[in-house]
């Protein structure tokens, strides 16, 4: 019986691979970082610990939420370390340790498909430095020049004398070697571990129920809390009657959280939650109780023609070009709110003692969670600590915002000395999400007499994520995330067609729901707006959609390469089986280039996806097996949003509360996806999100080809279209 997780005094959450035993949860009380450090295995450097049995522990700063970053980062460190991959295991340093060590592990943020690409140099240098120190230690023991020694697979050889030793034998000595100041990384052509589709390090535990997610934290004497906040965002608590539930079995305390929430603390979560459900609560819902889908849509519609546009991309003179165009084409698209619905609902466990606060939980940004805990409890960072667990789905929910961390800490602060695990119900999770923002887009294009696209105006109207989550990051009022895929160049998410006169502007209108980052973020809708309308234009001028795009893509060879790849493998231009139609989409997203070709048939409003071909060029492919899984998984996420997603608002409240009303794609509707991974080198792009942005448009375009109808508003369930 596994009644309690094992505790040790280390502040790492330690993982297990084949090489080591079970998983223990980092827990150290009282605080004593120096004592803790002394108990730790001596590290070679911040990134690498080599144990006497040759086990190599690689420290992973970024969060693992399924995307495989853990394994990819370990591969990159191991590549430069030249250790045996079979001996590699991992652990998560804490953000508190990072702060204490001058951010030696860099940024903990695991958002924006950045895990691999923004830390690749740091983790590779960490591995290379450790290797150099291990070699130097061996050379010193042998009294030979380090330059005469080589390292491979965890063994160091003095070439002239053929003497050998291992990393495990010299690790303690290496820890005392002065770290190198000049580090040369391997040329990509010499990589042996990077680029291989190695098995994930976290799979064995995940098949045996051993992985510790935030919800699985168990601490001695721990109590449980269920939390509920005003169903209308912006509303407040008027009153609650704690006396009605205080006499129930196991109920310990009822606490208010902020001015809008209340929690019941009990000796089991079920008792806490049933008491919370039974407790009379009166809400002051405020003026937002009048908001509905209809009021939001009407407000956004006004923004399609308003004169308050915040300009993001401007070239030439769109107004004049449209006025002089031989023909203009116009369409209005709309994208709804979407809930993250991470399989692990939001939760965190906090312990407040005297003047200290320690928190455990699933997060995409350990440093942000630590900062949120510190702010909530009112203590400096140095008196707080946060322990990252494995994350049961992130999708952006657990990066910005950190609302659930704040709530857990505010609850625990009212129960000093006792650890309290706060867990949201699925209903609380779905109705109090930080939703994918709602937008509409009016697109107006001008064609000359030869049917060349000479002008295009994209007017976005709708909600800004940054205005909701991080207003300080707005740039002169503009939210750059709103314009992903519309950027005039750059290395992240450039608009990748040449149109001489272009204007992209945004009328920002922020309804009361909180907006957040939802896997793929604004590229989800922007790629629909761009790609579906490109297909409309091609149809308008009677051209093949691929040829029409090619004419505009001279300056975007990497985009064109992935588009050509899916067109080729997807049999674009060749006859399709009877009743089967194809759609193409491409984009640059998160620094990578992606494209998809979808094949569908539509029968009596039932959409059957026969096949999808998807290509991705992420620059370098660290683990092709994981890239393939991210690409196929992206279609589940993107197509769930397209067909079944969409959050509805009535009386200011979110109508969908659970998976019965907010449906998810299941295995029976998973289409066949063929993945082309074509890293062209020379840049580092993301993988976790980019493909989502071509999933919906490729399928929408194919549906238009099949039905002759343009479905311009998501989700498709609103039209009665279902995925067969």
| Token representation of residue 44 | 């070679």
Is residue 264 a contact partner of residue 222, using CB atoms and an 8 Å limit? no
Is residue 59 a contact partner of residue 385, using CB atoms and an 8 Å limit? no
Is residue 421 a contact partner of residue 411, using CB atoms and an 8 Å limit? no
Q: Is 390 in the site for other proteins (CB under 8 A)?
A: yes
| DSSP SS3 for 228 | strand
Alpha-helical runs (H) found in 608-678? 624-643
Least spacing, CB of residue 225 vs other proteins, in Å: 12
Site string for other proteins, 610-649 (x = CB under 8 A): ---------------x---x--xxxxxx------------
| Token representation of residue 453 | 């696209």
Least spacing, CB of residue 200 vs other proteins, in Å: 6
Among 16, 77, 166, 342, binds other proteins (CB under 8 A): 342
Least spacing, CB of residue 345 vs other proteins, in Å: 7
CB under 8 Å to 706, separation ≥6 — which residues?
A: 579, 580, 581, 600, 601, 602
Question: By C-alpha distance, which of 519, 422, 353, 7 is closest to 214?
Answer: 422
Least spacing, CB of residue 78 vs other proteins, in Å: 18
Among 164, 278, 664, 718, binds other proteins (CB under 8 A): 664
Cβ proximity to other proteins, 526 vs 632, nearer residue: 632
Least spacing, CB of residue 421 vs other proteins, in Å: 9
Is residue 699 a contact partner of residue 692, using CB atoms and an 8 Å limit? no
- Longest pairwise C-alpha distance within the chain: 83
Cβ proximity to other proteins, 315 vs 624, nearer residue: 624
Distance CA 361, CA 386 (A): 8
Cβ proximity to other proteins, 55 vs 342, nearer residue: 342
Cβ proximity to other proteins, 392 vs 462, nearer residue: 392
Burial pattern 62-82, b for ≥16 Cβ within 10 A else e, equals bbbbbbbbbbbbbbbbbbbbb
Is residue 648 a contact partner of residue 431, using CB atoms and an 8 Å limit? no
Question: DSSP assignment of 423-457, as one string?
Answer: E--HHHHHHT--BBPPEEEEEEEEE-TT--EEEEE
Which residues, numbered 679-708, are part of the site for other proteins (CB under 8 A)? none
Cβ proximity to other proteins, 442 vs 669, nearer residue: 669
Q: Is 337 in the site for other proteins (CB under 8 A)?
A: no
Identify the bridge partners of residue 310 per DSSP, sorted by sequence position.
506
Among 15, 72, 361, 393, binds other proteins (CB under 8 A): 393
Least spacing, CB of residue 162 vs other proteins, in Å: 39
Distance CA 269, CA 215 (A): 11
If one counts every other C-beta atom within 10 angstroms of the C-beta of residue 23, the result is 18
Among 345, 646, 686, 715, binds other proteins (CB under 8 A): 345
Q: Is 374 in the site for other proteins (CB under 8 A)?
A: no
Least spacing, CB of residue 492 vs other proteins, in Å: 24
Among 239, 249, 306, 605, binds other proteins (CB under 8 A): 249
Among 76, 423, 545, 565, binds other proteins (CB under 8 A): 423
Span near other proteins by CB under 8 A; candidates 89-97, 329-337, 389-397, 700-708: 389-397
Cβ proximity to other proteins, 216 vs 403, nearer residue: 216
Residues lying near other proteins in the complex (CB under 8 A) are found at 1-4, 64-68, 199-200, 202-213, 215-216, 218, 224, 249, 268-271, 341-345, 390-395, 423, 425-426, 625, 629, 632-637, 658-660, 664-668, 670, 673
């Amino acid at each position: 019986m596994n009644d309690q997780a094992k505790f040790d005094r280390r502040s790492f959450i330690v993982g297990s691979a084949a090489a080591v035993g079970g998983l223990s949860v980092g827990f150290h009380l009282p605080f004593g970082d120096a004592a803790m450090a002394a108990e730790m295995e001596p590290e070679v450097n911040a990134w690498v610990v080599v144990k006497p049995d040759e086990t190599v522990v690689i420290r992973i700063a970024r969060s693992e939420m399924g995307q495989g970053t853990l394994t990819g980062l370990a591969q990159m460190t191991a590549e430069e370390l030249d250790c045996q991959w079979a001996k590699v295991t991992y652990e998560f340093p804490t953000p508190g340790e990072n702060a204490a060590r001058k951010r030696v592990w860099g940024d903990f943020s695991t958002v924006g498909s950045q895990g691999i690409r923004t830390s690749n140099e740091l983790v590779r240098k960490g591995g290379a430095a450790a290797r150099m120190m291990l070699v130097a230690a061996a050379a010193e023991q042998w009294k030979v020049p380090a330059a005469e020694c080589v390292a491979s697979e965890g063994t160091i050889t003095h070439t002239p004398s053929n003497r050998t030793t291992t990393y495990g034998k010299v690790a303690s000595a290496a820890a005392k070697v002065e770290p190198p100041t000049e580090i040369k990384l391997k040329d990509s052509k010499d990589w042996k571990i990077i680029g291989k589709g190695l098995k994930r390090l976290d799979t064995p535990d995940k098949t045996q129920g051993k992985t510790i997610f935030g919800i699985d934290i168990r601490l001695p004497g721990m109590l449980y809390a269920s939390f509920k906040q005003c169903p209308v965002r912006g509303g407040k608590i008027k009153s609650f009657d704690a006396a009605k539930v205080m006499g129930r079995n196991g109920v310990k305390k009822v606490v208010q959280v902020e001015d809008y929430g209340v929690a019941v603390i009990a000796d089991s979560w079920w008792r806490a939650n049933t008491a919370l459900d039974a407790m009379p609560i009166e809400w002051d819902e405020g003026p937002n109780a009048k908001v509905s889908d209809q009021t939001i849509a009407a407000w956004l519609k006004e923004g399609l023609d308003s004169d308050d546009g915040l300009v993001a991309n401007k070239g030439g003179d769109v107004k004049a070009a449209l006025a002089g165009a031989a023909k203009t084409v116009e369409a209005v698209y709309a994208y709804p709110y979407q809930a993250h619905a991470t399989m692990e609902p939001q939760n965190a466990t906090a312990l407040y003692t005297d003047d200290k606060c320690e928190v455990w939980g699933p997060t995409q940004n350990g440093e942000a969670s630590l900062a949120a805990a510190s702010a909530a409890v009112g203590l400096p960072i140095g008196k707080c600590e946060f322990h990252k667990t494995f994350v049961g789905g992130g999708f952006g929910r657990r990066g910005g915002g950190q609302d659930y961390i704040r709530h857990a800490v505010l609850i625990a602060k009212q129960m000093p000395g006792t650890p309290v695990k706060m867990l949201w119900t699925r209903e609380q999770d779905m109705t109090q999400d930080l939703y994918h923002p709602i937008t509409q887009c009016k697109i107006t294009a001008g064609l000359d007499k030869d049917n060349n696209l000479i002008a295009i105006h994209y007017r976005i109207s709708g909600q800004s994520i940054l205005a909701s989550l991080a207003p300080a990051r707005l740039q002169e009022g503009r939210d750059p995330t709103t314009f992903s895929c519309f950027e005039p160049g750059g290395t992240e998410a450039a608009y990748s067609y040449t149109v001489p006169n272009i204007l992209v502007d945004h009328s920002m209108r922020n309804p009361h729901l909180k907006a957040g980052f939802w896997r793929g973020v604004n590229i989800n809708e922007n790629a629909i707006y761009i790609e579906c309308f490109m297909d409309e234009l091609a149809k308008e001028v009677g051209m093949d959609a691929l040829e029409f795009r090619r004419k505009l893509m001279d300056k975007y060879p990497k985009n064109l390469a992935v588009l050509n790849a899916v067109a080729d493998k997807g049999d674009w231009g060749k006859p399709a089986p009877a009743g089967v139609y194809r759609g193409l989409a491409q984009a640059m997203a998160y620094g990578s280039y992606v494209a998809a070709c979808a094949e569908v048939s539509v029968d009596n409003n039932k959409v059957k996806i026969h096949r999808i071909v998807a290509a991705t060029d992420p620059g370098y492919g660290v683990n092709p097996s994981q890239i393939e899984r991210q690409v196929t998984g992206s279609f589940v996420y993107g197509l769930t949003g397209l067909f079944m997603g969409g959050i509805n608002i009535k009386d200011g409240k979110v109508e969908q509360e659970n998976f019965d009303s907010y449906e998810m794609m299941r295995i029976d509707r998973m289409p066949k996806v063929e993945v082309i991974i074509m890293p062209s080198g020379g840049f580092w792009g993301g993988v976790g999100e980019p493909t989502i942005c071509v999933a919906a448009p490729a399928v929408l375009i194919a549906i238009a080809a099949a039905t002759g109808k343009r479905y311009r508003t998501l989700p498709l369930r609103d039209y009665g279209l279902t995925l067969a």
